[in-house]
Structure 1
């Protein structure tokens, strides 16, 4: 069995059947339990997710009803064997007993960590394989088929941060493998999807400069400079300004500043970035040393 949370929430059985629970509150309950597999999730956390700061007086009883319906759903839809104790009551809350390999977000987290370790260990080809497999798990915005409460929203933001990390690892791995030109189309898409992420802008500018496309690189710099000024009233980071000066000088430009092994993954230092939320994010500048 597989629980897919990266995209519409769904349960995939061992024989390939795909089932999407139809009740939003049951989906929220299950999804929150699945973000902490084999751990006790308190009734207080579940109630906060379901009703926020103003739960009804019947919140505890209603939560028990949702858990009951979730248990019956797994049995009635033949999603798990009838003798498997999937959701257990464990005061002060509930726990769901599953393996990490049965939850796509756990697989995603493992693959991103594996990709980063391989890149740091000098294996860019292996890192690329890991993050490609991780990013292939995304079927759309996480938990997109029901409204998430405050608790699940925090997990969704965490997943988006990890997705940005996976993109960074992929770009860095491709750069180390000498695939500068191949990364340009993806970088153009990434700067459009994450417009205030300076790391992606730096990499696009550097890739264009390395490919001998100076005019396009300088145009990309001017675009991000205007964007930062208009949206945040800020100038580009010192790293990005140094990058522009190196392209203008056109003397020995061979990649982003710091490509000698001093950066975050052993390459270019990480620029300030932003968290993206669906459908249109509220973006915030972050510190360069995160």
Structure 2
């Protein structure tokens, strides 16, 4: 459906309305004389005529507003002569209706591994390694401006060439085209925005898997605190399933990204321990044993993992193995670090030796 051209007289009225209203003030009913206009017949009649014109112009303006409102509801965008795209070629969800319009695309970033971006559910090409690294830096600071100087320093390890700024601008332009493929030319970016001499990923326009991972961790621990291990297990597994490799793989060693990468890795290890603790809580200690064995081998200094492995072994009927794990850990701590194991591990060893009833496995939850 195409919008009919606006009547030439209506165009004239749109221009005339502000002038007439400004000159004559508030319009009255057609033919009604405003207060104080009684006087010589000519002046009064002229004022009445002008007011009548203003009234008609206001009615025409209201009619036009109604027409435009209906046109927008019908997904019709009047086309200017210099437009290169028809209204039908631009989906209504992509049109910029105001400077503060909603973002042009639903963008999802995945950083729990190498950087990936999905626009409307489709994987997009993020270009060359430095361009991908620039995006990873921006994603690590979602909602916060990242200065040009910071980006240049990180991308070129503090030794930028003379062309660094030009190259960075090209990377940003390429990323904007990839992240907002439907954005009209010369319209403001709504995903990767400019803020002075900085760039910013608008947190309202994007989703990040690292944020969902953190939410899953919180939900899991809260469910455990409420005594709901099945819900906790579901939350932990959903969060861990998001991981594909090292977080922010392209720039994990960059000074401005390292804190975020380290925090996420520590949270991942804690979630693995939480998941195994939940498996033990629901009676699936046979499944927890091999996972904890691999985990403690990869992270031998994490005492909670050692504690969980010993408990799982004991509940699986392997008391000797449980004690062996605790004593091997104690030896490692003393020889490598010169410290004693934690009170929790010492207490667990004593409880295993006396076969404390508190260590018995609960009934298996299906």
> Taking structure 1 as the reference length, what is the TM-score of the superposition?
0.76
Distance 1:171 1:92 in 2: 47
Shift of 1:108: 0.9
Shift of 1:56: 5.4
Structure 2 residue 338 is matched with structure 1 residue 233 = yes
User: Does structure 2 retain, via aligned residues, the 8 Å contact 1:51–1:149?
Assistant: no
Structure 2 residue 219 is matched with structure 1 residue 118 = no
Structure 2 residue 260 is matched with structure 1 residue 155 = yes
Aligned to 1:132: 237
Aligned pair count? 251
Alignment of 1:1-290 (within 5 A): 1-15=107-121, 17-53=122-158, 60-74=165-179, 80-83=181-184, 85-99=190-204, 102-145=207-250, 148-252=253-357, 254=359
**Bigger relative contact order, structure 1 or 2, given CA contacts below 8 A and separation 6+?**
1
Structure 2 gap segments, 5+ residues each: 1-106, 362-366
Shift of 1:59: 5.1
Deviation digits for residues 81-111 of structure 1 (CA, Å, limit 9, x no counterpart): 2246321111241111254862111111111
TM superposition outliers: structure 1 runs of 4+ over 6 Å: none
Deviation digits for residues 189-216 of structure 1 (CA, Å, limit 9, x no counterpart): 2112222101000110111122221111
Shift of 1:135: 0.4
* Worse overlay, 205-214 or 91-100: 91-100
Aligned to 1:259: none
Deviation digits for residues 220-277 of structure 1 (CA, Å, limit 9, x no counterpart): 1122223323432332222212211222222435169xxxxxxxxxxxxxxxxxxxxx
Q: Do the aligned partners of residues 180 and 66 (structure 1) sit closer, same or farther apart at CA in structure 2, a change above 3 Å counting?
A: same
User: Does structure 2 retain, via aligned residues, the 8 Å contact 1:48–1:55?
Assistant: yes
User: Does structure 1 retain, via aligned residues, the 8 Å contact 2:351–2:359?
Assistant: no
Q: CA RMSD in A?
A: 2.7
Aligned to 2:32: none
Q: Do the aligned partners of residues 215 and 255 (structure 1) sit closer, same or farther apart at CA in structure 2, a change above 3 Å counting?
A: same
User: Does structure 1 retain, via aligned residues, the 8 Å contact 2:251–2:257?
Assistant: no
Aligned to 1:272: none
Select the structure of larger CA radius of gyration: 2
User: Does structure 1 retain, via aligned residues, the 8 Å contact 2:310–2:326?
Assistant: yes
Distance 2:161 2:226 in 1: 52
Distance 1:101 1:89 in 2: 16
Structure 1 gap segments, 5+ residues each: 257-290
User: Does structure 2 retain, via aligned residues, the 8 Å contact 1:191–1:200?
Assistant: yes
